[in-house]
Amino acid sequence: MRLKKGLKSMVLSRVGVIAHTVFLEVIRDRILYLVALFALLMVMARLLLPGIAAGAENKMLIDLGLAAIHLLSVVVAVFVGTGLINKEIEKRTVLVLIAKPVSRAEFIVGKHLGLTAVLAVLIAALGLVFLLVLGASGVSLSLGSILIALGFMTLEAALLVAVAILFGVFTSSLLATLLTFAVYLMGHLSKDMVAFGQLSDSPAVQRLTNTLYLVLPDLERLNLRNTAAYGMELLPSVTVLLGHALYGVLYTGLLLAIASLIFSRRQF
Predicted confidence (pLDDT) per residue in 202-225, tens digit: 777 778 778 878 888 989 999 988
> What pLDDT does 3 receive?
44
> What pLDDT does 15 receive?
83
Helices (H), 1-142: 2-26, 33-52, 57-90, 94-99, 104-136
Taking every pair of Cα atoms in the chain, the longest distance, rounded to a whole number of angstroms, is 68
> What pLDDT does 136 receive?
82
Please give the single-letter amino acid code of residue 44: M
> What pLDDT does 233 receive?
66
CA–CA distances in Å: residue 33 to residues 28, 40, 142: 10, 11, 27
The single-letter DSSP state of residue 189 is S
CA distance 49 to 62: 11
Please give the single-letter amino acid code of residue 56: A
> What pLDDT does 167 receive?
93
> What pLDDT does 53 receive?
55
CA distance 254 to 195: 26
> What pLDDT does 71 receive?
93
The single-letter DSSP state of residue 100 is S
* Cα atoms in the Cβ-side hemisphere of radius 13 Å centred on 246: 6
Q: Which residues of the chain have pLDDT under 70?
A: 1-12, 29, 50-57, 93-100, 231-233, 268
Of 81, 78, 150, the closest CA to residue 120 belongs to 150
> What pLDDT does 85 receive?
82
CA distance 128 to 30: 19
CA distance 71 to 41: 13
> What pLDDT does 236 receive?
82
